[in-house]
Structure 1
Amino acid sequence: MKIVIHSKKETELLGKKLGELSFKGMCITLNGDLGAGKTTLTKSIGKGMGIEKTISSPTFTILKIYKGEIPLYHIDAYRLEGIDQDLGFEEVLQGDGVCVIEWGEFIKDILPAERLDISIYAQKDEERIFEINACGKRYEELLEKLV
C-alpha cells in the first residue's frame, strides 16, 4: 500500500492512527533516509498508544522503553549493521508491547516473520511517500482499518 503524505501533520495523524490500532506483540519496521520521518512517525505512534513521555530517537542507546497500557519498545538499528552477535532483542520482539524499529533492514535476520514494514521516501518540502507492507494476516487486517 502506498500513502502520499503532504505535511508533518499528516505524518503525525498516520502515526497516531497506527498507535490507536496497536496490539500486544506488534512489530513495525521503519526504513528511509535520515530525516525521512521515522522518529516523527514513532512519536505519533506513541501518542496514539496514550504514552505521555516525550519520545526521542534511541540512536546512541539503541533501545528505549516507554511505559503505557501497552509498552512501546523503540529500537534504532542504524549502528547494528553487520553485527553477528546475539543482541538480546528477543524479549522485546516477542514481548507484550509494541516494537518500532528504525533501520530494520540492518537486523532483518532477527525480525519476526509477521510484522508491518514501512518505507518512507522524502519528496520535496514535507511531502513523503509511505510504502506499507503487511506481513501476516493480523497486519493485513490492520492495514484495512488504517485506510
Structure 2
Amino acid sequence: MATNVYGVRVLDVAPDELRARFKVFVLEGGAANPPVPDDPTFFFYALWERGGLADLFDVKTVLDYAWVNANTRRFVARVERVASAKKPLREFDYDVWVTDVRWLEDLTVGDDWDTTFWPFHADVWTPDDAPHIPDLTEPVRRISPFAGTK
C-alpha cells in the first residue's frame, strides 16, 4: 500500500489568469525527507487527481512517467513557489499557471487531499516553445503532396 507523502490544498482559483494557488505540505510519517515539489509534474498529478485532467487520462497513462515528463508542459505552463515554512509541517505555497481554463474547472477553494505522487523532472520547454511543438493529440494526417501525378 502506498504511503501518502504530501497534502495539497487549493488556496485560490483565478480562471481569468489561468492560475491556481496551492498549499503543499509534507505529511508527518511520510517518506523520509521527500523533495520540495517545485517540478511541474507534481502539479500535473494534482490536476489529474482533483482537477480537470481526470477525464482525459486513465491510470495507465499517468503512471507512464516518461510520457508525463514529456507532456506535462502541455497542461501546466508554469509553477512558482511563493511561500514556504517549516513548522508545524514543511509546507509550500505555489502559483500554478495552466494552459487551458478547463484544467481548473473542478477546483474549489478549500479542496484538500493527500497524494502519493512525487515530483519528477518534466521537460524544460516553455510556453513560448509550445507553438513550435507538434500536438501529438491530433489524429494522424496523411499528406499527399503529389496527388494526381504518376
As a proportion of its length, which structure holds more helix? 1
TM-score w.r.t. the length of structure 2 is: 0.30
Rg larger for: 2
TM-score w.r.t. the length of structure 1 is: 0.31
